[in-house]
A and B are shown apart, each in its own frame.
Chain A
Amino acid sequence: MVAVAEGTLRRTPLYDEHRRLGARLVDFAGWEMPVQYAGIRAEHEAVRTRAGLFDVSHMGEVAFRGPDAERALQRLLTRDVSRLERGQAGYAAVCLESGGTVDDVIAYRREEDFLVVVNAANREKDLAHFRRHTSDLDVEISDETEEWALLALQGPASEEILQRFVGRDLSTLGRYRFVREEVGGAPAIVSRTGYTGEDGFEIFVSPRDAPSLWRRLIEAGAAPAGLGARDTLRLEAGMCLYGNELDEETTPLEAGISFAVHLDKEEEFVGRQALRRQREEGLRKKLVGFELEGRGIARHGYPVAAGGEEVGVVTSGTMSPTLNRAIGMAYVPPDLEDGLAVIIRGRPVPARIVPLPFYRRGR
Protein backbone atom coordinates (compact mmCIF):
# COMPACT_ATOMS: atom_id res chain seq x y z
CA MET A 1 0.00 0.00 0.00
CA VAL A 2 1.51 3.30 -1.02
CA ALA A 3 0.77 6.55 0.74
CA VAL A 4 -0.38 9.23 -1.66
CA ALA A 5 0.11 12.97 -1.71
CA GLU A 6 -2.01 15.08 0.57
CA GLY A 7 -5.35 16.08 -0.87
CA THR A 8 -5.84 12.89 -2.82
CA LEU A 9 -7.65 9.76 -1.71
CA ARG A 10 -5.68 6.79 -0.48
CA ARG A 11 -6.21 3.47 -2.20
CA THR A 12 -5.97 -0.02 -0.77
CA PRO A 13 -3.93 -2.77 -2.50
CA LEU A 14 -7.27 -4.05 -3.84
CA TYR A 15 -8.20 -0.87 -5.68
CA ASP A 16 -7.61 -2.39 -9.13
CA GLU A 17 -9.74 -5.40 -8.19
CA HIS A 18 -12.61 -3.09 -7.22
CA ARG A 19 -12.35 -1.24 -10.51
CA ARG A 20 -12.29 -4.49 -12.43
CA LEU A 21 -15.46 -5.65 -10.64
CA GLY A 22 -17.24 -2.41 -11.53
CA ALA A 23 -17.58 -1.24 -7.93
CA ARG A 24 -18.98 2.16 -7.14
CA LEU A 25 -16.18 3.91 -5.26
CA VAL A 26 -16.63 6.65 -2.68
CA ASP A 27 -14.49 8.75 -0.38
CA PHE A 28 -14.59 7.01 2.98
CA ALA A 29 -12.42 8.56 5.71
CA GLY A 30 -9.95 9.70 3.06
CA TRP A 31 -9.87 6.34 1.28
CA GLU A 32 -11.34 5.52 -2.11
CA MET A 33 -13.48 2.55 -1.10
CA PRO A 34 -16.13 0.36 -2.76
CA VAL A 35 -19.62 1.10 -1.47
CA GLN A 36 -21.25 -1.56 -3.66
CA TYR A 37 -20.65 -3.94 -6.55
CA ALA A 38 -23.84 -5.79 -7.58
CA GLY A 39 -26.09 -3.88 -5.20
CA ILE A 40 -26.37 -3.52 -1.44
CA ARG A 41 -29.34 -5.89 -1.07
CA ALA A 42 -27.74 -8.67 -3.10
CA GLU A 43 -24.45 -8.34 -1.21
CA HIS A 44 -26.23 -8.23 2.14
CA GLU A 45 -28.14 -11.38 1.28
CA ALA A 46 -24.98 -13.12 0.09
CA VAL A 47 -23.42 -12.57 3.51
CA ARG A 48 -26.53 -13.76 5.38
CA THR A 49 -26.97 -16.90 3.27
CA ARG A 50 -23.50 -17.84 1.87
CA ALA A 51 -20.41 -15.66 2.10
CA GLY A 52 -19.33 -12.14 1.27
CA LEU A 53 -15.85 -10.70 0.96
CA PHE A 54 -15.03 -7.17 2.15
CA ASP A 55 -11.91 -5.10 1.64
CA VAL A 56 -11.33 -3.43 5.00
CA SER A 57 -7.69 -2.55 4.39
CA HIS A 58 -8.47 1.07 5.24
CA MET A 59 -8.76 0.10 8.91
CA GLY A 60 -5.71 1.13 10.91
CA GLU A 61 -3.30 -1.31 12.54
CA VAL A 62 -1.21 -0.11 15.47
CA ALA A 63 1.40 -2.36 17.09
CA PHE A 64 2.35 -2.09 20.78
CA ARG A 65 5.78 -3.55 21.54
CA GLY A 66 8.22 -3.52 24.41
CA PRO A 67 8.26 -4.39 28.13
CA ASP A 68 5.33 -2.09 28.96
CA ALA A 69 3.08 -2.96 25.98
CA GLU A 70 0.49 -4.63 28.20
CA ARG A 71 0.60 -1.84 30.78
CA ALA A 72 0.09 0.71 28.02
CA LEU A 73 -3.02 -1.05 26.76
CA GLN A 74 -4.35 -1.55 30.27
CA ARG A 75 -4.17 2.21 30.64
CA LEU A 76 -5.62 2.99 27.19
CA LEU A 77 -8.37 0.41 26.79
CA THR A 78 -11.54 -0.22 28.80
CA ARG A 79 -11.06 -3.98 28.53
CA ASP A 80 -8.89 -5.97 30.95
CA VAL A 81 -6.14 -6.87 28.49
CA SER A 82 -4.37 -9.07 31.03
CA ARG A 83 -7.16 -11.61 30.59
CA LEU A 84 -6.48 -11.96 26.86
CA GLU A 85 -4.46 -15.06 26.07
CA ARG A 86 -1.97 -15.25 23.22
CA GLY A 87 -4.03 -15.82 20.09
CA GLN A 88 -7.06 -14.11 21.55
CA ALA A 89 -8.64 -10.81 20.51
CA GLY A 90 -10.94 -8.49 22.44
CA TYR A 91 -13.26 -5.62 21.58
CA ALA A 92 -12.64 -2.49 23.66
CA ALA A 93 -13.28 1.22 23.86
CA VAL A 94 -10.68 3.97 24.11
CA CYS A 95 -11.91 6.79 26.36
CA LEU A 96 -11.13 10.35 27.30
CA GLU A 97 -10.85 11.31 30.98
CA SER A 98 -14.48 12.48 30.62
CA GLY A 99 -15.56 8.95 29.67
CA GLY A 100 -16.36 10.03 26.12
CA THR A 101 -15.28 7.57 23.46
CA VAL A 102 -12.16 8.24 21.37
CA ASP A 103 -12.58 5.04 19.35
CA ASP A 104 -13.71 1.44 19.48
CA VAL A 105 -11.01 -1.08 18.64
CA ILE A 106 -10.06 -4.74 18.64
CA ALA A 107 -6.85 -5.69 20.46
CA TYR A 108 -5.04 -8.86 19.37
CA ARG A 109 -2.52 -10.39 21.77
CA ARG A 110 0.18 -11.95 19.61
CA GLU A 111 3.15 -13.99 20.85
CA GLU A 112 5.35 -11.05 21.75
CA ASP A 113 3.24 -7.95 21.26
CA PHE A 114 -0.23 -6.54 20.61
CA LEU A 115 -1.88 -5.42 17.41
CA VAL A 116 -4.76 -2.97 17.78
CA VAL A 117 -7.15 -2.45 14.88
CA VAL A 118 -8.62 1.05 14.87
CA ASN A 119 -11.16 2.89 12.73
CA ALA A 120 -9.71 4.50 9.60
CA ALA A 121 -11.14 7.92 10.40
CA ASN A 122 -9.67 7.88 13.93
CA ARG A 123 -6.20 6.53 13.24
CA GLU A 124 -4.22 9.74 13.66
CA LYS A 125 -6.28 10.92 16.61
CA ASP A 126 -5.81 7.51 18.25
CA LEU A 127 -2.05 7.52 17.74
CA ALA A 128 -1.73 10.94 19.37
CA HIS A 129 -3.95 9.81 22.26
CA PHE A 130 -2.02 6.54 22.69
CA ARG A 131 1.34 8.36 22.78
CA ARG A 132 0.16 11.20 25.01
CA HIS A 133 -0.99 8.81 27.73
CA THR A 134 1.99 6.43 27.65
CA SER A 135 4.99 8.75 27.40
CA ASP A 136 6.29 7.48 30.77
CA LEU A 137 6.19 3.81 29.68
CA ASP A 138 8.69 1.65 27.86
CA VAL A 139 6.50 0.90 24.87
CA GLU A 140 6.96 1.33 21.14
CA ILE A 141 3.75 2.32 19.39
CA SER A 142 3.96 1.99 15.62
CA ASP A 143 1.46 2.58 12.87
CA GLU A 144 1.49 -0.57 10.70
CA THR A 145 -1.53 0.33 8.56
CA GLU A 146 0.51 0.25 5.36
CA GLU A 147 1.99 -3.15 6.16
CA TRP A 148 -1.34 -4.92 6.16
CA ALA A 149 -4.17 -5.58 3.79
CA LEU A 150 -7.30 -6.77 5.63
CA LEU A 151 -9.96 -8.95 4.04
CA ALA A 152 -13.18 -9.88 5.85
CA LEU A 153 -14.79 -13.12 4.72
CA GLN A 154 -18.23 -13.26 6.35
CA GLY A 155 -21.22 -15.58 6.23
CA PRO A 156 -22.26 -19.16 6.98
CA ALA A 157 -20.14 -20.59 4.13
CA SER A 158 -17.00 -18.68 5.07
CA GLU A 159 -15.37 -21.52 7.03
CA GLU A 160 -15.92 -23.98 4.22
CA ILE A 161 -14.52 -21.53 1.65
CA LEU A 162 -11.47 -20.50 3.67
CA GLN A 163 -10.71 -24.11 4.64
CA ARG A 164 -9.76 -24.81 1.01
CA PHE A 165 -6.81 -22.43 1.38
CA VAL A 166 -5.65 -23.31 4.89
CA GLY A 167 -3.87 -26.42 6.19
CA ARG A 168 -5.16 -26.24 9.77
CA ASP A 169 -8.66 -27.36 10.78
CA LEU A 170 -10.57 -24.07 11.06
CA SER A 171 -13.50 -25.62 12.93
CA THR A 172 -11.29 -25.65 16.03
CA LEU A 173 -10.66 -21.91 15.85
CA GLY A 174 -13.01 -20.27 18.36
CA ARG A 175 -14.74 -16.93 18.14
CA TYR A 176 -12.32 -14.03 18.78
CA ARG A 177 -9.34 -16.38 18.39
CA PHE A 178 -6.67 -16.00 15.76
CA VAL A 179 -3.70 -17.90 14.35
CA ARG A 180 -0.67 -17.17 12.19
CA GLU A 181 -1.32 -19.34 9.19
CA GLU A 182 -0.57 -19.53 5.49
CA VAL A 183 -3.60 -18.79 3.37
CA GLY A 184 -3.13 -20.05 -0.17
CA GLY A 185 0.62 -20.04 0.43
CA ALA A 186 0.74 -16.46 1.73
CA PRO A 187 1.68 -15.72 5.34
CA ALA A 188 -1.35 -14.34 7.16
CA ILE A 189 -3.12 -13.84 10.43
CA VAL A 190 -6.52 -15.55 10.38
CA SER A 191 -8.93 -14.26 12.98
CA ARG A 192 -12.45 -15.48 13.71
CA THR A 193 -13.94 -12.02 14.00
CA GLY A 194 -16.23 -9.78 11.99
CA TYR A 195 -18.74 -7.01 11.86
CA THR A 196 -21.81 -8.54 10.23
CA GLY A 197 -23.47 -10.72 12.86
CA GLU A 198 -22.39 -13.83 10.94
CA ASP A 199 -19.66 -16.37 11.46
CA GLY A 200 -16.60 -15.28 9.57
CA PHE A 201 -12.93 -14.46 9.39
CA GLU A 202 -10.71 -11.45 9.08
CA ILE A 203 -7.51 -12.16 7.21
CA PHE A 204 -4.44 -9.95 7.57
CA VAL A 205 -2.02 -10.37 4.68
CA SER A 206 0.76 -8.36 3.10
CA PRO A 207 -0.46 -5.84 0.49
CA ARG A 208 1.54 -7.80 -2.10
CA ASP A 209 -0.44 -11.01 -1.51
CA ALA A 210 -3.86 -9.38 -1.17
CA PRO A 211 -5.04 -9.18 -4.81
CA SER A 212 -4.49 -12.85 -5.63
CA LEU A 213 -6.10 -13.97 -2.35
CA TRP A 214 -9.05 -11.67 -3.05
CA ARG A 215 -9.51 -13.19 -6.52
CA ARG A 216 -9.19 -16.77 -5.28
CA LEU A 217 -11.74 -16.30 -2.51
CA ILE A 218 -14.20 -14.88 -5.03
CA GLU A 219 -13.54 -17.78 -7.42
CA ALA A 220 -14.26 -20.10 -4.47
CA GLY A 221 -17.70 -18.58 -4.05
CA ALA A 222 -17.45 -15.45 -1.90
CA ALA A 223 -19.39 -12.48 -3.24
CA PRO A 224 -17.55 -9.14 -3.20
CA ALA A 225 -19.39 -6.88 -0.78
CA GLY A 226 -19.03 -3.16 -0.17
CA LEU A 227 -19.34 -0.69 2.65
CA GLY A 228 -23.07 -0.28 1.97
CA ALA A 229 -23.83 -3.89 2.85
CA ARG A 230 -21.34 -3.74 5.71
CA ASP A 231 -23.46 -0.97 7.22
CA THR A 232 -26.86 -2.68 6.84
CA LEU A 233 -25.39 -5.94 8.18
CA ARG A 234 -23.79 -4.39 11.26
CA LEU A 235 -26.95 -2.38 11.95
CA GLU A 236 -29.14 -5.51 11.87
CA ALA A 237 -26.61 -7.08 14.25
CA GLY A 238 -26.98 -4.06 16.57
CA MET A 239 -23.29 -3.18 16.39
CA CYS A 240 -22.03 0.34 17.00
CA LEU A 241 -20.40 2.43 14.29
CA TYR A 242 -17.99 5.11 15.41
CA GLY A 243 -19.35 8.51 14.36
CA ASN A 244 -22.93 7.22 14.56
CA GLU A 245 -23.47 5.47 17.89
CA LEU A 246 -20.10 6.37 19.40
CA ASP A 247 -18.32 9.70 19.72
CA GLU A 248 -16.43 11.79 22.25
CA GLU A 249 -19.71 13.00 23.81
CA THR A 250 -20.91 9.46 24.39
CA THR A 251 -19.60 6.91 26.87
CA PRO A 252 -19.35 3.18 26.13
CA LEU A 253 -21.89 2.58 28.91
CA GLU A 254 -24.45 4.75 27.14
CA ALA A 255 -23.69 2.97 23.86
CA GLY A 256 -24.52 -0.38 25.44
CA ILE A 257 -21.03 -1.85 25.08
CA SER A 258 -20.41 -2.25 28.81
CA PHE A 259 -19.36 -5.85 28.10
CA ALA A 260 -16.13 -4.29 26.81
CA VAL A 261 -15.69 -2.09 29.90
CA HIS A 262 -13.97 -3.80 32.83
CA LEU A 263 -14.38 -1.17 35.55
CA ASP A 264 -12.83 -3.45 38.17
CA LYS A 265 -9.59 -4.34 36.42
CA GLU A 266 -6.44 -3.85 38.46
CA GLU A 267 -4.84 -1.00 36.55
CA GLU A 268 -6.28 2.48 36.23
CA PHE A 269 -7.46 3.36 32.71
CA VAL A 270 -8.21 6.69 31.10
CA GLY A 271 -11.86 7.48 31.74
CA ARG A 272 -12.46 4.95 34.51
CA GLN A 273 -13.36 7.49 37.18
CA ALA A 274 -15.90 9.18 34.94
CA LEU A 275 -17.41 5.83 33.95
CA ARG A 276 -17.63 4.69 37.59
CA ARG A 277 -19.36 7.92 38.49
CA GLN A 278 -21.78 7.46 35.60
CA ARG A 279 -22.51 3.92 36.69
CA GLU A 280 -23.37 5.19 40.20
CA GLU A 281 -25.30 8.27 39.14
CA GLY A 282 -27.08 6.72 36.18
CA LEU A 283 -26.92 7.29 32.44
CA ARG A 284 -27.97 10.54 30.77
CA LYS A 285 -29.07 8.69 27.66
CA LYS A 286 -29.25 5.14 26.40
CA LEU A 287 -29.00 3.52 23.02
CA VAL A 288 -32.13 1.66 21.92
CA GLY A 289 -33.21 -0.24 18.85
CA PHE A 290 -36.49 0.68 17.21
CA GLU A 291 -38.78 -0.32 14.38
CA LEU A 292 -40.87 2.23 12.55
CA GLU A 293 -44.58 1.54 12.77
CA GLY A 294 -45.48 4.01 10.03
CA ARG A 295 -44.11 4.46 6.55
CA GLY A 296 -40.67 5.91 5.96
CA ILE A 297 -37.04 5.34 6.79
CA ALA A 298 -35.24 6.84 9.76
CA ARG A 299 -31.79 8.21 9.04
CA HIS A 300 -28.78 9.32 11.06
CA GLY A 301 -29.51 12.66 12.73
CA TYR A 302 -33.32 12.60 12.55
CA PRO A 303 -34.92 13.82 15.81
CA VAL A 304 -36.79 11.46 18.11
CA ALA A 305 -39.85 12.78 19.94
CA ALA A 306 -41.97 11.56 22.85
CA GLY A 307 -45.04 13.30 24.25
CA GLY A 308 -44.70 16.01 21.63
CA GLU A 309 -41.18 16.92 22.72
CA GLU A 310 -37.85 16.26 21.10
CA VAL A 311 -36.05 13.81 23.40
CA GLY A 312 -33.37 12.15 21.32
CA VAL A 313 -31.77 11.50 17.99
CA VAL A 314 -31.45 8.65 15.50
CA THR A 315 -27.88 7.38 15.23
CA SER A 316 -28.40 4.89 12.38
CA GLY A 317 -31.37 3.73 10.37
CA THR A 318 -32.17 1.77 7.27
CA MET A 319 -34.62 -0.57 5.62
CA SER A 320 -33.49 -3.93 6.95
CA PRO A 321 -32.90 -6.21 3.97
CA THR A 322 -33.27 -9.35 6.10
CA LEU A 323 -36.37 -8.31 8.08
CA ASN A 324 -37.82 -6.04 5.41
CA ARG A 325 -38.72 -3.47 8.07
CA ALA A 326 -37.49 0.05 8.72
CA ILE A 327 -35.15 -0.28 11.70
CA GLY A 328 -32.77 1.99 13.51
CA MET A 329 -30.93 2.89 16.67
CA ALA A 330 -31.37 6.08 18.68
CA TYR A 331 -30.30 7.79 21.87
CA VAL A 332 -33.27 8.44 24.15
CA PRO A 333 -33.75 9.25 27.85
CA PRO A 334 -32.91 6.16 29.93
CA ASP A 335 -36.44 5.79 31.34
CA LEU A 336 -38.26 6.01 28.00
CA GLU A 337 -40.13 2.77 27.27
CA ASP A 338 -42.50 3.55 24.45
CA GLY A 339 -44.56 6.25 22.77
CA LEU A 340 -41.75 7.55 20.66
CA ALA A 341 -41.80 8.90 17.13
CA VAL A 342 -39.10 9.63 14.61
CA ILE A 343 -39.47 13.01 12.90
CA ILE A 344 -39.03 12.28 9.20
CA ARG A 345 -38.89 15.52 7.20
CA GLY A 346 -41.12 17.27 9.71
CA ARG A 347 -43.62 14.43 10.08
CA PRO A 348 -43.72 12.26 13.23
CA VAL A 349 -43.72 8.55 12.38
CA PRO A 350 -44.52 6.26 15.34
CA ALA A 351 -41.80 3.82 16.35
CA ARG A 352 -41.57 0.94 18.79
CA ILE A 353 -38.54 0.14 20.94
CA VAL A 354 -37.31 -3.39 20.28
CA PRO A 355 -34.48 -5.39 21.82
CA LEU A 356 -31.08 -5.37 20.11
CA PRO A 357 -29.84 -7.02 18.00
CA PHE A 358 -32.51 -6.96 15.33
CA TYR A 359 -30.98 -10.06 13.78
CA ARG A 360 -29.24 -12.98 15.43
CA ARG A 361 -27.80 -15.74 13.28
CA GLY A 362 -29.25 -19.22 13.48
CA ARG A 363 -32.74 -17.96 14.22
Chain B
Amino acid sequence: MPEIPQDLQYTRTHEWVRIEDGTATVGITDHAQEELGDVVFVELPEPGSSVEAGEPFGTIESVKAVSDLYSPVSGEVAEVNRTLEESPERVNEDPYGEGWLIRVRISGQPDLLSPEEYASRLEEEE
Protein backbone atom coordinates (compact mmCIF):
# COMPACT_ATOMS: atom_id res chain seq x y z
CA MET B 1 0.00 0.00 0.00
CA PRO B 2 1.41 3.43 -0.88
CA GLU B 3 2.09 5.84 1.93
CA ILE B 4 -0.63 8.46 2.60
CA PRO B 5 0.50 10.88 5.33
CA GLN B 6 -2.30 11.95 7.65
CA ASP B 7 -1.23 15.59 7.89
CA LEU B 8 -1.66 16.40 4.18
CA GLN B 9 -4.55 17.01 1.79
CA TYR B 10 -4.93 15.47 -1.66
CA THR B 11 -6.41 15.81 -5.14
CA ARG B 12 -8.16 13.28 -7.35
CA THR B 13 -5.22 13.64 -9.74
CA HIS B 14 -2.71 12.39 -7.12
CA GLU B 15 -1.13 15.62 -5.95
CA TRP B 16 -0.65 16.33 -2.25
CA VAL B 17 -0.86 19.73 -0.52
CA ARG B 18 0.49 21.07 2.76
CA ILE B 19 -1.03 24.44 3.70
CA GLU B 20 0.88 26.66 6.12
CA ASP B 21 0.25 30.39 6.58
CA GLY B 22 -1.63 30.75 3.31
CA THR B 23 1.07 29.02 1.30
CA ALA B 24 0.52 25.58 -0.25
CA THR B 25 3.42 23.22 -0.84
CA VAL B 26 2.52 20.85 -3.66
CA GLY B 27 3.91 17.49 -4.71
CA ILE B 28 2.77 14.17 -6.15
CA THR B 29 1.77 11.25 -3.96
CA ASP B 30 3.69 8.07 -3.26
CA HIS B 31 1.09 6.23 -5.33
CA ALA B 32 1.65 8.61 -8.27
CA GLN B 33 5.44 8.28 -8.23
CA GLU B 34 5.09 4.52 -8.07
CA GLU B 35 2.72 4.50 -11.04
CA LEU B 36 5.02 6.76 -13.07
CA GLY B 37 8.18 4.79 -12.41
CA ASP B 38 11.60 6.43 -12.68
CA VAL B 39 11.08 10.18 -12.96
CA VAL B 40 13.63 11.71 -15.36
CA PHE B 41 12.36 15.22 -16.00
CA VAL B 42 10.09 17.77 -14.32
CA GLU B 43 8.93 20.95 -16.02
CA LEU B 44 7.68 23.59 -13.57
CA PRO B 45 6.35 27.16 -13.88
CA GLU B 46 8.40 30.26 -13.10
CA PRO B 47 7.97 31.94 -9.70
CA GLY B 48 5.53 34.81 -10.02
CA SER B 49 3.31 33.06 -12.56
CA SER B 50 -0.22 32.21 -11.58
CA VAL B 51 -1.80 28.78 -11.37
CA GLU B 52 -5.43 27.75 -11.41
CA ALA B 53 -6.95 24.96 -9.34
CA GLY B 54 -7.61 21.92 -11.53
CA GLU B 55 -5.49 23.29 -14.40
CA PRO B 56 -2.09 21.95 -15.53
CA PHE B 57 0.92 23.81 -14.11
CA GLY B 58 3.70 21.60 -15.42
CA THR B 59 4.67 18.18 -16.66
CA ILE B 60 6.48 15.23 -15.19
CA GLU B 61 8.20 12.63 -17.33
CA SER B 62 9.26 9.15 -16.38
CA VAL B 63 11.35 6.87 -18.56
CA LYS B 64 8.19 5.62 -20.22
CA ALA B 65 5.62 8.41 -20.16
CA VAL B 66 4.82 12.07 -19.84
CA SER B 67 2.06 13.28 -17.51
CA ASP B 68 0.52 16.65 -16.69
CA LEU B 69 0.70 18.07 -13.20
CA TYR B 70 -2.54 19.68 -12.00
CA SER B 71 -2.59 22.51 -9.51
CA PRO B 72 -4.59 21.69 -6.38
CA VAL B 73 -4.98 25.40 -5.58
CA SER B 74 -5.28 28.78 -7.28
CA GLY B 75 -2.73 31.48 -6.62
CA GLU B 76 0.73 32.77 -7.41
CA VAL B 77 3.80 30.53 -7.58
CA ALA B 78 6.06 31.61 -4.74
CA GLU B 79 8.83 29.07 -5.15
CA VAL B 80 9.77 26.07 -7.29
CA ASN B 81 11.97 23.15 -6.31
CA ARG B 82 15.13 23.83 -8.36
CA THR B 83 16.76 20.65 -7.03
CA LEU B 84 14.58 18.69 -9.42
CA GLU B 85 16.30 20.19 -12.47
CA GLU B 86 19.41 18.18 -11.65
CA SER B 87 17.88 15.43 -9.54
CA PRO B 88 14.36 14.58 -10.72
CA GLU B 89 14.69 11.18 -9.03
CA ARG B 90 14.04 12.97 -5.70
CA VAL B 91 10.34 12.71 -6.62
CA ASN B 92 10.63 8.91 -6.46
CA GLU B 93 12.88 8.81 -3.42
CA ASP B 94 11.05 11.29 -1.21
CA PRO B 95 7.72 12.35 -2.75
CA TYR B 96 6.44 14.01 0.43
CA GLY B 97 9.76 15.64 1.35
CA GLU B 98 12.65 16.66 -0.91
CA GLY B 99 10.58 15.75 -3.96
CA TRP B 100 8.09 18.62 -3.49
CA LEU B 101 7.33 20.59 -6.67
CA ILE B 102 6.06 24.14 -6.07
CA ARG B 103 4.87 26.52 -3.36
CA VAL B 104 1.81 28.63 -4.10
CA ARG B 105 0.44 31.71 -2.29
CA ILE B 106 -3.20 30.69 -2.20
CA SER B 107 -6.07 32.87 -3.34
CA GLY B 108 -9.55 31.51 -2.70
CA GLN B 109 -10.74 28.40 -0.94
CA PRO B 110 -9.26 25.15 -2.25
CA ASP B 111 -11.38 22.01 -2.62
CA LEU B 112 -9.22 19.13 -1.45
CA LEU B 113 -9.50 15.54 -0.29
CA SER B 114 -8.73 14.33 3.22
CA PRO B 115 -6.29 11.41 3.62
CA GLU B 116 -9.27 9.08 4.17
CA GLU B 117 -11.04 10.30 1.05
CA TYR B 118 -7.86 9.91 -1.00
CA ALA B 119 -7.25 6.40 0.34
CA SER B 120 -10.76 5.28 -0.57
CA ARG B 121 -10.31 6.76 -4.08
CA LEU B 122 -7.15 4.70 -4.52
CA GLU B 123 -9.02 1.57 -3.47
CA GLU B 124 -11.71 2.32 -6.04
CA GLU B 125 -9.05 2.62 -8.74
CA GLU B 126 -7.53 -0.76 -7.88
Binding site for B on A (CB under 8 A): 24, 35-36, 39-41, 228, 231-232, 295-297, 299, 318-319, 321, 326, 345
Chain A residues in 8 Å Cβ range of B66: 297, 299
Report whether B63 and A40 are in contact in the complex, using a CB–CB cutoff of 8 Å.
yes
Chain A residue with Cβ nearest B66: A299
Chain B contacts for A345, CB-based, 8 A: 59
Docked complex Cα distance between A39 and B59 (Å): 20
A-B contact pairs, 18 of them (CB 8 A): A24-B37, A36-B37, A39-B37, A40-B37, A40-B38, A40-B62, A41-B38, A228-B37, A228-B63, A295-B43, A295-B85, A296-B43, A297-B61, A299-B66, A318-B63, A319-B40, A326-B41, A345-B59
Instruction: List residues 34-74 of chain B with CB under 8 A from any CB of chain A.
Output: 37-38, 40-41, 43, 59, 61-64, 66
Q: Complex formed: what's the CA distance from A296 to B63 in Å?
A: 12
Query: Is the pair A321, B64 in contact by a Cβ cutoff of 8 Å?
Result: no
B85 surroundings in chain A (CB, below 8 A): 295
Given A39-B38, A232-B63, A295-B43; 5 other pairs, CB 8 A cutoff: A35-B64, A36-B37, A297-B66, A318-B63, A319-B41
Contacts of B64 in A (CB 8 A): 35, 40, 228, 231
The complex places the Cα of A35 from the Cα of B36 at a distance, in Å, of 12
Q: Are A297 and B37 in contact (CB under 8 A)?
A: no
Chain A residues touching B, majority SS? mixed
Q: Are B63 and A41 closer than 8 Å at their CB atoms?
A: yes
Chain B interface SS verdict (over half): strand
Q: How large is the interface on B (under 10, 10 to 19, 20 to 34, 35 or more residues)?
A: 10 to 19
User: In the complex, what distance in Å separates the CA atom of A232 from the CA atom of B37?
Assistant: 14
Do A295 and B41 touch (CB < 8 A)? yes
State in angstroms the CA–CA spacing of A299 and B63 once bound together.
10
CB proximity of A302 to chain B, nearest CB, Å: 10
Question: Which 6 A-B residue pairings sit nearest by Cβ, starting from the closest?
Answer: A319-B40, A40-B63, A41-B38, A297-B61, A297-B41, A228-B64
With a cutoff of 8 Å between Cβ atoms, the chain A residues found around residue B37 in the complex are: 24, 36, 39-40, 228
What distance in Å separates the Cβ of B63 from its nearest Cβ neighbour in chain A? 4
Task: Give, as a whole number of angstroms, the nearest-CB distance from B81 to chain A.
Answer: 15
- B68 and chain A: residue at smallest CB distance: A345
B44 CB to closest chain A CB, in angstroms?
11
Tell me, rounded to whole Å, the shortest Cβ–Cβ distance linking A113 to chain B: 38
Q: Which residues of B contact A326 (CB under 8 A)?
A: 41
**Residue in contact with A319 in the complex, picked from B43, B59, B61, CB distance below 8 Å:** B61
**Which A residues are in CB contact (< 8 Å) with B61?**
297, 319
B18 to chain A, nearest CB (A): 27
User: A40-B64, A318-B63, A321-B63 known; A296 and B38 CB under 8 Å?
Assistant: no
